[in-house]
Structure 1
Amino acid sequence: MFKETFYPYEKLCLDESLMLFKGHLKVKQHIPAKGSMFGIKIFIIFYWKTNYILDFIIYVGAQTGIDNHGMGVSGNTVATLPQTYLEKGHTLFVNNWYTSPDLFCWLYDRATNTCGAVRQTRKEVPAMEDKLKKGEITSRSSESGKVIVLKWHDKKEVWMLSTYHKAEMHLTSKRDRKSGDQKMRLSVVIDYNKSAGLVDQSDMLIKTVDNTWKSSKWHRKLFLHILDTAIFNAFCLYQKYGTKMKYKKFHFNVIRESFATFYINCKRAGGAKCQEYLQD
């Protein structure tokens, strides 16, 4: 699997990807926020700096291969995917579908910090009814001190949950149009925004040169999607350890080198047999 090829540094992200599929399938999902909108949902964990995909779980309804930790589908997914990286001091970023105080405490007890936006209606999230002016912060900590809930008023109220941050404001590179002063943002929001949307960026890049074609067979499209993911991961590693190259050119080079190797091997086995295989 991909995680055996590359071991990530501190910060990891967990999110869901949606592989476009328009055919009939019981487990097909509808996620309006995704570019594909309809398709097969795949939970993925990746290294935030390079978008290298470390592992994934394909959503197949009740039979989805996740461990039961008593935290619902979202919590159990987060508890299952990072198993390899628990007890090693990583920090995990998740969106508000996964975020809950119980999950964050569970991960904290396993030496893993977590950060994410949180729904204020989520169970065990304390009520903070303070009416804040723009730029003001209020926060609550759990009794154990493991988790902090922060509410910050920017253009609207922003709710965050973290085991890694404090209620601190930091300067950003953006400036106010009227005063020209540097804008201040909540530190947890700055870090979280760096991870937001990375999965969608990867999906868009893969779709520019993907291997899929129209088919009513979902397993065929899924196989080709995983193949595209493997090529994308190879591109991430090449960018990290090699020279800079556009993904389209890298994809073409992979095909060219693979074909050259395949052709040589076939030629040794016999030209007629090679030609017959290529025609099939």
Structure 2
Amino acid sequence: MLPEPDGTVLQILVYARTNDEEVAGKEDVSKVVMKIMEKRLNVGHSLYMDNFYNLYDLANTLLESNTYCTGTLRSNRIKHPIDVLSAKLKKGELNIQYCNNVAIMKWKDKSDVLFLTTEHFCKLQETCNRRGNVKEKLYPLTKYNENMGGIDLRDQMLYYYSSDPKTVRFISTYTIEFVLV
């Protein structure tokens, strides 16, 4: 799904790990992202992705197409720099590695946060939380949280109207969700 930060859905591609030739294969997650972004490449857009879709190789491919990406990473994916992933950090410490204009970082807050960006400068900045407490947070992480709000809002709205998966078949469920979107 490709939403705007305000929750407006621009495009949907159902990915169910099937035998669809356009998006199936060894790096099918990257193919899904490239398929859904194909009309929006080479314009300078910023893409914010969660850890399921975000990969180092995909970030390079998008950067070659003048499209920036930012998002969380999974530690068990191959081709991520081992130095960053294996570093033991204390709370508030930051470890960054740059490779081909892609920044991969690990930051220790309450737990380890793995992050990738091709757009934002990797620095810590002071932010206020809801209670008014000031704490340091990664700048790319604050931008990620600002822009991922649209997908969270859409998910929250669909939750109120979602169908019961135990009684409705897969296709019917997605048809209902498409109508609601």
For 2:72 and 2:173, locate their aligned partners in 1 and report how far apart those are by CA, in whole Å.
Answer: 33
Change (3 A) 1:207 1:130: closer
Partners of 1:206 and 1:228 within 8 A in 2: yes
Unaligned runs of 5+ in 1: 1-43, 230-280
More helix by share: 1
Aligned letter for 2:36?
L
- 1:216 positional shift: 5.0
CA displacement at 1:60 relative to structure 2 = 4.4
For residues 55 and 85 of structure 1, what CA distance do their matches in structure 2 show?
Answer: 11
Question: How many angstroms does 1:110 deviate by?
Answer: 0.3
TM-score, normalised to structure 1, is 0.56
The residue that corresponds to 1:130 in the other structure is 87
2:43 maps to 1:88 = yes
Counterpart in the other structure of 1:185: 137
Relative to structure 1, the CA distance from residue 63 to residue 135 in structure 2 (aligned partners, 3 Å threshold; closer, same or farther) is same
> What residue ranges of structure 2 are gaps of 5+ in the alignment?
none
- Residues 51, 202 of structure 1: 8 Å contact kept: yes
CA contact 2:4–2:150 (8 Å) conserved in 1: no
Q: Is the 8 A contact 1:71 1:103 kept in 2?
A: no
Identity among equivalent pairs (%): 25
Give the corresponding residue for 1:102: 57
Which residue identity is paired with 2:134? Q
Q: Quick one: structure 1 residues 172 and 215, their matched pair in 2 at CA, closer, same or farther if it must change by over 3 Å?
A: same
Q: Secondary structure at the residue paired with 1:57?
A: coil
Seen in structure 2, the aligned counterparts of structure 1 residues 136 and 227 have a Cα distance that, compared at 3 Å, is: same
Greater shift, 76-85 or 52-61, is seen at 52-61
CA offsets 1:60-101 (integer angstroms, 9 cap, x no match): 443336346x76121111111011111111000111111111
User: Which one has more relative contact order, counting CA pairs under 8 Å at least 6 apart?
Assistant: 2
8 Å CA contact 2:125–2:137 kept in 1: the answer is: yes
Q: What is the DSSP-based 3-state SS (H/G/I as helix, E as strand, rest coil) of the residue aligned with 1:165?
A: coil
Contact conserved, 1:90 with 1:112, CA < 8 A, in 2? yes
- Residues 253-280 of structure 1: per-residue CA shift (max 9 Å, x gap): xxxxxxxxxxxxxxxxxxxxxxxxxxxx
2:52 and 2:18 map into 1 onto residues whose CA distance is 18
1:196-223 alpha-carbon deviations (Å, 9 max, x no partner): 46434313313435699x9655544433
Q: CA RMSD in A?
A: 2.8
Output the CA distance in 2 between the equivalents of 1:47 and 1:82.
Answer: 13
Corresponding position: 1:118 with 2:73: yes
Q: Write the distance in 1 (CA, Å) between the matches of 2:8 and 2:149.
A: 14
